[in-house]
Amino acid sequence: RAVVLCRDEFVTKADLPNLINKISEKKVFDTTDLEDGYETKVKAFEKEIILEALSRTNGNKSAAARILNITERHLRSRLDILGIVYNKDL
């Protein structure tokens, strides 16, 4: 989707939402360790992004979905698939 929305031929960091840029600056995981495989790395990154959005919205799933630019239904599906249980008190 970002390719469709960006002005140039390639997607750049500036084309991505601020949330993704801030998380990527934190270095979510070590990219030199690829033994876990692609799917595991992608799921770990997705989980980190979702948890950050939930943290910023104090657990409000509707607001978190808006930040992530996905539907609340899709967010709830990803929470189930990734086994994420958000507890704002932790």
Q: Residue 74: inside a domain, yes or no?
A: yes
Amino acid symbol at 69 = N
Residue 62 in any domain: the answer is: yes
Q: Residue 1: inside a domain, yes or no?
A: no
Say if residue 66 is exposed, middle or buried (CB neighbours under 10 Å; 0-12, 13-18, 19+).
Answer: middle
Q: Which positions ≥6 away from 81 have C-beta within 8 Å?
A: none
**37-48 tens-digit pLDDT:** 888 888 999 999
Put simply, whether the predicted model's pTM sits higher than 0.85 gets the answer: no
User: Whole domain around residue 74: which residue ranges?
Assistant: 16-82
Let me know if residue 53 belongs to a domain: yes
Per the structure, the count of domains in the chain is: 1
Residue 4 CA to residue 43 CA, distance in Å, equals 24
Express each pLDDT in 23-42 by its tens digit.
555 555 556 667 778 888 88
